């Protein structure tokens, strides 16, 4: 089967092979197609797993797995001798951790995933990984070992396959397990969905010592919460925003720092800055302005401006060409071709509504920002 997989690895529509399965006696075409589809997905998501000797489960487990770059980032955060991943899944995180810890335990309740994990870790040469089949709760009750780290990425699907993201709705329920987890490990690292409310999660988890907001190429992928069995002071907890990929970036702040930071308001000046997505998710709005010497357009308009360009500011920067009122004729006078990319920030209308009112088609090379200023004015900012 491996030769068949390699032969068809670059097929644009491998599922079409199912229609001609009779042409390949001795080959389980359905299984081969599953492997080909997984490898095509992992080619870019986790290059270390792009190996025809590996075996993969159905697509959902591939989609839910960490990417290679986020797995490597998590594994670099905490050093030690022993760790356990109680939600092993495909095993990409475990494989990354196995390169930083002397002994790693993979735990999963799905027999198919466990069987595949044993095979794949052997192929990958991860001989320091112990595979354990069962629920996280059962594992915690049976073990007598103490770990330097326990990691969990609770499943965010309900019994009907629908998406969930609240901690109590995920499996395993880390809120009910946190006392036992901290009794079994010095540190506990919990990965959650990016849409989870950070402040709420910090309150619910109680023992949080640090938070990471992780993005890849400016798309927020996951939140990480580090727990330790010691007092936590939410206002002082470091929140680190990290962008991995083509434009690496990190920014650390605390809730107390954000509350104490003062951001000066201003009308649009020469340059307009749109922060990285992680800044929006983490809520570092005033700290970001103060750290880079920028002014805000409005308390709730999270775009920033300056008279001279600051090349150190992460995110996107635009050179302001024009500022007009929210009016079709005013915009038409400065936008040629009636086409523009429209974004809205703290604005009553959606981008689609703005385009319709201004008579614009979507696309082109011009960017327009529909925003509310500190004085409450609705304006359109055009970039060069």
Q: What is the pLDDT of residue 170?
A: 84
Is there a single domain that holds both residue 92 and residue 213? yes
DSSP assignments along 105-159, one per residue: EEEES-HHHHHHHHHHHHHTT-TTEEEEES-HHHHHHH----EEEEEE--B-B-T
| Strand order across the 295-298 sheet | 295-298, 301-306, 271-274, 316-325, 378-383, 361-372, 339-345
Q: Confirm whether 123 is domain-assigned.
A: yes
DSSP SS3 for 211? strand
Q: What is the pLDDT of residue 159?
A: 58
Q: Confirm whether 198 is domain-assigned.
A: yes
Is there a single domain that holds both residue 122 and residue 235? yes
Average pLDDT, the chain: 93
Is there a single domain that holds both residue 157 and residue 235? yes
Q: What is the pLDDT of residue 1?
A: 81
Q: Which residues of the chain have pLDDT under 50?
A: none
Could you say which of 253, 276, 296 is where a domain stops? 253
Summarize pLDDT for 300-331 with one digit per residue, the tens.
Answer: 999 999 999 999 999 999 999 999 999 999 99
Q: What is the pLDDT of residue 384?
A: 63
- Reference 55, options 128, 137, 105, 118; nearest CA is 118
Phi and psi for 253 in degrees, rounded to 5?
A: -155, 175
Q: What is the pLDDT of residue 2?
A: 86
Domain tally, the chain: 3
Q: What is the pLDDT of residue 63?
A: 83
Q: What is the pLDDT of residue 58?
A: 76
Q: What is the pLDDT of residue 69?
A: 97
Give the contacts of 312 (CB within 8 A, at least 6 positions apart): 292
DSSP SS3 for 342? strand
Q: What is the pLDDT of residue 162?
A: 64
Is there a single domain that holds both residue 181 and residue 327? no
Is there a single domain that holds both residue 36 and residue 86? no
| 212 contacts 224 by C-beta, under 8 angstroms | yes
Could you tell me the residue range of the domain that residue 38 belongs to? 2-45
- Residue ranges of alpha helices (H) inside the chain are 2-7, 29-45, 59-64, 68-77, 92-97, 111-123, 136-142, 174-184, 198-205, 255-260, 277-282, 285-292, 328-332, 351-358
Q: Confirm whether 54 is domain-assigned.
A: no
DSSP SS3 for 43? helix
Q: What is the pLDDT of residue 133?
A: 97
DSSP 66: P
């Amino acid at each position: 089967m491996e030769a068949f997989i390699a032969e068809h690895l670059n097929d644009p529509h491998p599922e079409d092979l199912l229609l001609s399965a009779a042409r390949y006696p001795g080959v389980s075409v359905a299984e081969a197609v599953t492997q080909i589809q997984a490898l095509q997905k992992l080619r870019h998501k986790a290059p270390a797993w792009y190996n025809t000797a590996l075996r993969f489960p159905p697509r959902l487990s591939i989609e839910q797995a960490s990417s290679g770059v986020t797995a490597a980032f998590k594994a670099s955060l905490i050093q030690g001798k022993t760790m356990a991943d109680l939600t092993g899944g495909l095993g990409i995180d475990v494989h990354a951790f196995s390169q930083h810890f002397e002994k790693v335990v993979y735990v999963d309740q799905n027999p198919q995933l466990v069987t595949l994990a044993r095979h794949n870790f052997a192929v990958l040469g991860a001989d320091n990984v112990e595979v354990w089949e069962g629920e996280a709760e059962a594992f915690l009750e049976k073990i007598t070992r103490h770990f330097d780290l326990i990691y969990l990425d609770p499943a965010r699907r309900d019994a009907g396959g629908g998406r969930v993201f609240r901690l109590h709705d995920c499996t395993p329920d880390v809120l009910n397990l946190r006392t036992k987890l901290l009794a079994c490990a010095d540190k506990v690292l919990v990965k959650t969905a990016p849409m989870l409310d950070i402040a709420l999660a910090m309150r619910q988890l109680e023992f949080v010592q640090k938070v990471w907001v992780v993005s890849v190429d400016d798309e927020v992928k996951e939140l990480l919460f580090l727990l330790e069995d010691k007092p936590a002071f939410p206002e002082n907890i470091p929140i680190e925003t990290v962008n991995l990929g083509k434009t690496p970036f990190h920014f650390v702040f605390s809730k107390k720092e954000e509350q104490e930071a003062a951001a000066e308001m201003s009308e649009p000046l020469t340059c307009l800055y749109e922060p990285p997505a992680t800044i929006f998710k983490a809520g570092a709005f005033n700290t970001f302005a103060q750290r880079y010497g920028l002014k805000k357009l409005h308390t709730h308009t999270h775009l920033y401006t300056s008279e001279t360009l600051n090349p150190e500011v992460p995110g996107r920067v635009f050179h302001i060409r024009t500022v007009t009122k929210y009016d079709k004729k005013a915009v038409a006078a400065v936008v040629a071709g009636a086409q523009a990319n429209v974004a809205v920030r703290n604005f009553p209308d959606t981008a689609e509504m703005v385009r319709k009112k201004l008579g614009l088609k979507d696309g082109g090379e011009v960017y327009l920002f529909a925003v509310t200023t500190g004085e409450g004015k609705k304006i359109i900012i055009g970039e060069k």
